[in-house]
Structure formats: C-alpha cells, structure tokens
Chain A
Amino acid sequence: MIETILNFLNQKEVIQATVVIGSMGLFLIGLFGLLTQRHFIKLFISIEIMEVSIFLLFIGLSFQRGLTAPMLGDGIKTFTNMNDPIPHAMILTAIVIGMAVLALGVSMAIEYHKLTGITDVDKMNRLRN
C-alpha cells in the first residue's frame, strides 16, 4: 500500500503538478498580501513571498529525479547524469538581488518612519495633490 503511494508520488508528472500548484498557491498568497496589507514591512514580506514562489517553481520544474549535483572531481570528468546547473545559478543571483532590494526598501521605510512616524502606504500622501 505505502509502496504504491510512494511510487505514485515519485512520478515526474505528480512532482511537477505539486510544484506548480504549490508555488502558484504561494504566489497567490503573496499577491493577496500585496493587495490587502498596507504596512510597509508586511508589503515587503508579501513581495518576497511572491518572489520565492517563482524561484520554487523554476527550481522545482527544472530539477529531475535521479540526477546528481553538477560537480566534477573525484574521478568524475564529464557532465553526464547531472542536473542542469543554470537554473540554480540564476536563482542564486536572483535571491541575492531580491535580498538587496528588500534591505534597501526596509532601510528606506525605517528612515521614512523616523521622519514622519508613518508605517502605512496609504497614509504616504505628501506627493498627492
């Protein structure tokens, strides 16, 4: 019984469907937060959740079961039976960039709060006439 369930879960299609449904669910949670939350920090968290959901989708779909990490050495001289390293490299870069933007945003929000005491995007209306 457990064997059949595990085999079912190990199928490529099932893994991919789980990844797609899961990450899109996470994307929608982030989008919901972005549209409903007005606090700076909560907004940034929502944006980050959306970003992470895309990263998960990309890594999850490009990962293939049974293949090893793309590293040479220890007698391994060719790139056979290895996962594609490019998505990982890309997502690593994207995570770093995302974190840099987030840190900048949070620091700006803190500066803004120090000057005005506002933590709510809707109350941020000095520039509206």
Chain B
Amino acid sequence: MSSIYFIALPLLFGFAVPILSKIGKDGVAYTSLAMQTLLTLLSITLALKLDSPIVEVIAIAPPLGIALVVDSVSILFVTLFTSLTLATSIYYMGGRDKIKYKNENKFFILLNMLLASAIGLVLSSDIFNIYVFFEIAGISAYILASYNKTPEALEAGLKYLITGAMASIFLVFAIALIYLHLGTLNLALISQNFNTLSGEIQLLIATLLLIGFGFKVEIFPLNFWVSDIYEGSTSLVNGLFSSIVSKAYLFVFFHILYLLLPHHSFTNFLIYLGVVSLIIAEIVALRQRNIKRLFAYSSLGQLALLFIAFSIQTTDSIYAGLYIILAHSLAKMVIFLSISYISDRYGSEDIEIFSTLNSPFLKWVLVISMLSLLGMPLFAGFVGKFLLLKTLGGMGSYGVVGAILFASLIEAIYYFKLIGMLFNSRERGESINISPTQKSILSALAIAVILFGVAPFIISDWLNVASEAMINSHIYQNIILGVKI
C-alpha cells in the first residue's frame, strides 16, 4: 500500500469534481465522503500493521527525488487528520438539509485540499516539499476562512492571508539559506550536516524557521490575528483549523527543529515563549463574550502548552505532547461542531447561548470536552497534562509547573462559568433536536475522549515508539539514508 494515495486521492478529487457533478445532485458530496472513509480505513490499517517505517521515493532522476516517510509518529497524525476530516464531513452531511453551504462542491474541494496538504506536511521529508504543502494548506485555509463572503469572513480571510504570506517569506528565506550552505533539501542529509555550519548561521536559520512557523503555530507574539480568524469563519471550519491545520504545522516545526538542533539551548528560550503565550492566552480568554473567540483563545492556550511540551525535548515530554494533541483535537472538534449547530439555531454567537441551550445531549458532550480541555481526571486531557507536569517536576522546573497550574486555574474559571451557564439557568430557548447522524459523530468523539482518559494504556505502546521516533534524529536519518535512491 503506497503512502502517496493519502496525498494524491484528495487532490485528484478536486480535478474530478466537474465530472462527478454530472452524475447527480449529491455525486460530489458522497464521493468525497466515500474517499475520506477509504483513507481513514487505510490509515488505520497501516497504523495497526506498521512494524517498520516505510520510505517511498518518487524518483525523478537520481539523485533527485521526493521521499515520503511513514513512521510511527507520522502515521499517528495521518490517522488523526483523516478521521477528523471524515467526522467533519459526516457531521456536515447530517445537517445538510438545514445548513447548506453555497457552492458546496467548492467546499468539498477545499476540505480535501486541506486534508491532502496537512498529510503532505507530516509525511514529506524534503524541506522544499514542506514549503509547497505549507502554502497549499495556507491557500485552502484562507479560502475556507472567507468562505461565506460576508464582510467579517473576508476580513478574517484577508488577515489570515497577509500573515500567512509573511510567514512564507521567512520560510523561503530559511530554506534558501539551508540550500546555499548545505546544497541539499533532504531533511535527513540536512540533519546530518547541520552541525558543520557556524553557530551564527545555525541560529539565524532556526530564528527564521521560528518566525515562519511561529505565525502558523500561533505562538506569542505572532498570534495577534488568530482570534479574528476564528470569529470571522464558520465554526465547522474552525474545528478544522484548531484540530488539523495548527497541529500539522506544530508537528512539522518541531520535527525540523529536532532534526536540525537536537538538544540545543535555543529550545530553552522556546519554553519561556510557550509559558508567556499560555498565560496571556488564558487571561485574555477570560473576558471574551463571543463564544468562537473564547474557544480561539483556549486553543491558543493549548497550543502554547504543546509548545512547552515539545520544547523540553525528552521522550516523556513528547509522549505527553502527543497525548495533549490527541485530547485537544478530539475535544475541540466536538466543541466547534456543536457550536456550529447551536449558533446557527439560535442565531447568536454570544456566550449567552449556552444558558439558553435546550438539548441535554449537546450539554453533556460539551461538558465532557470542556472538562477534558481543563485536564480533569477520567478525561483524555488529564493524562497529557499530568504527564507533562510530572516531567517538568522531575526536571525541577517548578516555575514552569507553577505557570501551567496558574493557567489551568484561569481556564477553570471560564470553563466552570460556561458549565454553570449550561445547567443553572431559568429560561430556556426552544428545544433543539440534532440529527441522529450528527449525534453519533459527537458521541463517538466524546467516547474517544473518555476512553483515552480512563484507558491510556491502549495507545501507550504506539505513543512510546512515536515519541522515540520523533525525537531521535538518528532514527530518521537511518530510515531515509538507509534507502538506496
């Protein structure tokens, strides 16, 4: 089974749309759904039977070639992305009779383009290829953000585009410097030879990469635009941004950083950047009145937490980071999918809609995901946060531990305020009935959140191997350079 299908099929789908739209009213929608189901099944099968990494080289003419690497950590992300995109698609199809996008075919093309580029980002082992996927993901995200073409949506799209264009300039700069000094674009070869460069050049390249990816991984001070994007775009798209796009960028950034500067003092600086980012995001979240904006800041907080986890650069902290990614992606998906339905029904985006919400089912899934984000025991978020704090405690960084606990306290204030609004209110709006398809998607995601919380051992083996594969640059070098091109 070739890994190129994960990228080629969603992209080919876009070209097939003119033909598919001829075969019936719902031809495009159901083909997209079928393809995403196929990709999800393929990624799960591949993940279950993957015993050694697969390297696939699409050779143009030796030594030129593009390699895709499927190892235990990249397949984790591929599985996560395909299954969450599938969840979004099914959820959309379930409510399609009530909420339908204009030019639906375009929406499906963009959704699949986003999926293909996110998968391409995590699989590719060629730094210029990463740049190309970086831009494809960006372009599809800009269009998705401004999809409704209201002034708010276009404003969000424009802001996203301008910051994204700046990010890509710095990334090209970094890639150009790498190529000029090392004469290769292959990540494994770059990783092998990077320490032959002088210290200043190493730091310059790392800083350019940090600025380039910093916009995309939404780290302070480059995250001023994020809350506007979330407020302007639809909630369905916000779910994708929060659980797929930002996670793909985060993984690639740290993957490159581990390969280029393993255990470098540069990463200590990143820990403090993460701490500042975390505290600012949580404090600003406290006074938000718009529900999408509030969860945007909560996403920023979680991404900062991930930034801290990955910056520590030990196997344990990466294990914790991967767990937080899993927990956050699932929980945020539930929250944004529910909000897309609720805000559409009540016609408002103020947090007051939580106190008028009249649907026991939605209340419970929202509570489960919020408690998980907060890091309450029995939910997936707890395992990640607990492991991270344990690692930090073991290292003696009590300052960072204190900062994370302080941020969790602030988080608790607004989450419990929201939970209070859900359950203690006198007046209720009209009761809303979510369709069975949508109900099953939300319950599946919520059950996954609880399952990973009570039984972390079911994926602990996988995450152990994955965190080892992610941090150890020698493993990666051997995987790629062991293959004869």
Contact = CB atoms under 8 A, between A and B. Distances in A.
Interface in B387-445: none
Nearest to A93: B132
B228 A128 contact: yes
A93 B161 CA distance: 19
B172 interface: yes
Nearest to B231: A127
Contact of A124 (B131, B155, B169, B180): B155
A94 B142 CA distance: 18
B232 A94 contact: no
Interface in A8-57: 34, 40, 43, 47, 50-51, 54-55, 57
B197 to A, nearest CB: 15
A82 interface: no
A102 to B, nearest CB: 8
Interface in B140-191: 142-143, 146, 149-152, 154-159, 161-162, 164-166, 168-169, 172-173, 175-176, 179-180, 183, 185
Contact of B146 (A86, A100, A108): A108
B167 to A, nearest CB: 11
B172 A94 contact: yes
Contacts of A40: 158
Contact of B180 (A34, A61, A109): A61
Nearest to A62: B180
B98 interface: no
Contacts of A55: 172
Given A108-B161, A109-B158, A129 B290 contact: yes
Contacts of B157: 108
Q: Which of B152, B176, B232 neighbours the largest number of chain A CB atoms within 10 Å of its CB?
A: B176
B289 interface: yes
Given A94-B131, A108-B157, A127 B232 contact: yes
Contact of B162 (A61, A86, A105, A111): A105
Nearest to B225: A127
Nearest to B227: A127
A55 B176 CA distance: 8
A93 B138 CA distance: 16
Contacts of A105: 158, 161-162, 165
Contacts of B183: 84
A97 to B, nearest CB: 5
B166 to A, nearest CB: 7
B164 A108 contact: no
B179 A101 contact: no
B399 to A, nearest CB: 33
Nearest to A112: B154
Contacts of A84: 183
Contacts of B289: 129
Interface string A93-129: 1100110111011001101100110000100101111
Contacts of A87: 176, 179
B56 interface: no
B158 A97 contact: no
Interface string B268-293: 00000000000000000000111001
A126 B168 contact: no
B158 A124 contact: yes
A97 B131 CA distance: 10
A129 B290 CA distance: 9
22 contacts: A51-B168, A51-B172, A54-B169, A58-B172, A58-B179, A61-B180, A86-B179, A93-B128, A100-B139, A101-B135, A102-B165, A108-B154, A109-B158, A112-B154, A112-B158, A115-B150, A115-B154, A126-B151, A127-B232, A128-B228, A129-B289, A129-B293
Interface of B: 64, 128, 131-132, 135, 138-139, 142-143, 146, 149-152, 154-159, 161-162, 164-166, 168-169, 172-173, 175-176, 179-180, 183, 185, 227-228, 231-232, 288-290, 293
Interface of A: 34, 40, 43, 47, 50-51, 54-55, 57-58, 61-62, 84, 86-87, 90, 93-94, 97-98, 100-102, 104-105, 108-109, 111-112, 115-116, 121, 124, 126-129
